[in-house]
């Protein structure tokens, strides 16, 4: 992830803010489970002491500014019940993530969760979340915002010749199975890491699904504690698809100008899966059977540009540029991996790509920017 992620992730921080009610709900469940375990469920016997360290795992943290939002909420909610509680917070991302920026952010940000108590310790983990990250049964709360839809980097099928996105509009049986399997892998690893009674809260991208359209395909979750909220979204084109398509066009122009080989451009892919609800529910069914990780809640959200920006005062061109900087902050590292040569070559070619892209959207700004993308927020509990 490039150095500017903290400054260009307003859209992702909005995703977190949109799901704070679910963080509160899941945190309350975790606290009740802890109280039950320490035998503190008897009102008269409240000693406000949990002898165990509470461990929070932040999956796909990037540079940490957005992670501070849910962690502040989780820690302050716990402290109301257990004022002397000790916490360990683990921030995880790929090894190439700039962990120095993350540690500086957590230490220096005046709103950082470390200001909440002097018993909070934080660490970084440079490892893919497709590996087990910590010993089994050690985590109380794991969250993954805007990260769990990233596929692992070995995916070689479903290249879209016209886009840097994964080819998924017409979902083949093979691609659907791949989505179920890769989500199951993520869920089962988190299930192993969680203590009994622990929580996994995540968001994953959706392909602007109209849930009503797929109503008959979807399994209705059976658990009595489960709530599913259905929100209808239109199947309008996802703005991210537009950005991904335009990116590929610009890279191809650069190949035609012999600035980069067509072979490198053909291989470029941002391996994000836009999951459908039936695939998510299938993965959960498997992980509930195998690891006792059960569904508490799943909710569809539509993220709008106007949620985080005053769209009335911005021109189409300004909106396009803002969106591009967000996409860029999230995708730059992945795209640079496909460029041959040393870091200087990668950096200068990428810089050229940025200026060509900006020129392109000056000539023809992306229209209809209001509906950005849709995503599911999901709460899972380890039984």
Ligand X SMILES: C[S@@+](CC[C@H](N)C(=O)[O-])C[C@H]1O[C@@H](n2cnc3c(N)ncnc32)[C@H](O)[C@@H]1O
Binding residues for ligand X, rule: CB under 6 A, are 1, 9, 12, 16, 60-62, 66, 93-94, 97, 128-130, 145-147, 150, 152, 330
Q: Shortest distance, CB of residue 129 to ligand X, whole angstroms?
A: 4
Q: Shortest distance, CB of residue 315 to ligand X, whole angstroms?
A: 26
Q: Shortest distance, CB of residue 271 to ligand X, whole angstroms?
A: 8
Taking only Cα atoms into account, the Rg of the chain, rounded to an integer number of angstroms, comes to 21
Which of 26, 97 has the CB closer to ligand X? Answer: 97
Which of 32, 307 has the CB closer to ligand X? Answer: 307
Q: Going by C-beta distance under 8 Å and a sequence separation of 6 or more, which residues neighbour residue 247?
A: 163, 164, 327, 335, 353, 357
Helix extents (H) in the chain: 10-18, 20-37, 68-81, 99-108, 173-193, 239-256, 262-267, 277-291, 305-308, 316-336, 343-363
Which of 38, 94 has the CB closer to ligand X? Answer: 94
Q: Shortest distance, CB of residue 362 to ligand X, whole angstroms?
A: 26
Which of 50, 146 has the CB closer to ligand X? Answer: 146
Q: Is 32 left (phi over 0), alpha (psi -120 to 50) or beta?
A: alpha
Q: Please give the angle made by the CA atoms of 33, 49 and 139, to the nearest 5 degrees.
A: 45
Which of 31, 327 has the CB closer to ligand X? Answer: 327
Q: Shortest distance, CB of residue 127 to ligand X, whole angstroms?
A: 7
Residue 297: strand, helix, or coil? strand
Q: Tokens standing for 105? A: 């952010």
Distance (Å, whole) CA 97 – CA 59:
12
Residue nearest to ligand X (CB): 60
């Amino acid at each position: 992830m490039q150095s500017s992620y903290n400054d260009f992730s307003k859209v992702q921080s909005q995703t977190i803010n949109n799901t704070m009610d679910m963080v509160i709900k899941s945190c309350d469940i975790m606290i009740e489970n802890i109280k039950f375990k320490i035998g503190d469920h008897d009102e008269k016997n409240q000693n406000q002491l949990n002898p165990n360290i509470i461990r929070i795992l932040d999956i796909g943290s990037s540079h940490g500014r957005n992670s501070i939002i849910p962690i502040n909420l989780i820690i302050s909610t716990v402290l109301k019940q257990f004022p002397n509680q000790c916490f360990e917070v683990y921030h995880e991302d790929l090894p190439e993530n700039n962990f120095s920026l993350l540690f500086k952010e957590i230490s220096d940000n005046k709103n950082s969760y470390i200001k909440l108590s002097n018993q909070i310790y934080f660490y970084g983990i440079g490892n893919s979340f497709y590996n087990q990250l910590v010993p089994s049964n050690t985590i109380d709360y794991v969250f993954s915002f805007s990260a769990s839809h990233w596929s692992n980097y070995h995916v070689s099928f479903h290249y879209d010749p016209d886009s840097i996105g994964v080819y998924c509009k017409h979902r083949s049986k093979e691609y659907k199975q791949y989505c179920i399997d890769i989500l199951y892998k993520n869920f089962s690893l988190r299930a192993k890491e969680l203590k009994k009674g622990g929580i996994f809260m995540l968001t994953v991208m959706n392909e602007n699904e109209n849930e009503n359209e797929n109503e008959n395909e979807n399994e209705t979750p059976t658990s009595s504690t489960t709530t599913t909220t259905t929100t209808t979204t239109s199947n309008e084109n996802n703005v991210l698809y537009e950005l991904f398509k335009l990116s590929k066009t610009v890279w191809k122009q650069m190949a035609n100008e012999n600035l980069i080989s067509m072979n490198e451009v053909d291989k470029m892919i941002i391996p994000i899966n836009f999951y459908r609800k039936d695939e998510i529910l299938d993965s959960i069914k498997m992980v509930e059977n195998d690891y006792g990780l059960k569904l508490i809640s799943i909710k569809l959200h539509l993220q709008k540009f106007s949620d985080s920006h005053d769209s009335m005062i911005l021109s189409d061109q300004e909106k396009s540029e803002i969106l591009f900087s967000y996409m860029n902050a999230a995708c730059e590292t992945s795209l640079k991996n496909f460029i041959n040569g040393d870091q200087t070559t990668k950096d200068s070619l990428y810089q050229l790509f940025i200026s060509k892209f900006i020129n392109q959207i000056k000539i023809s700004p992306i229209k209809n920017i209001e509906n950005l993308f849709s995503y599911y927020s999901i709460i899972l509990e380890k039984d």
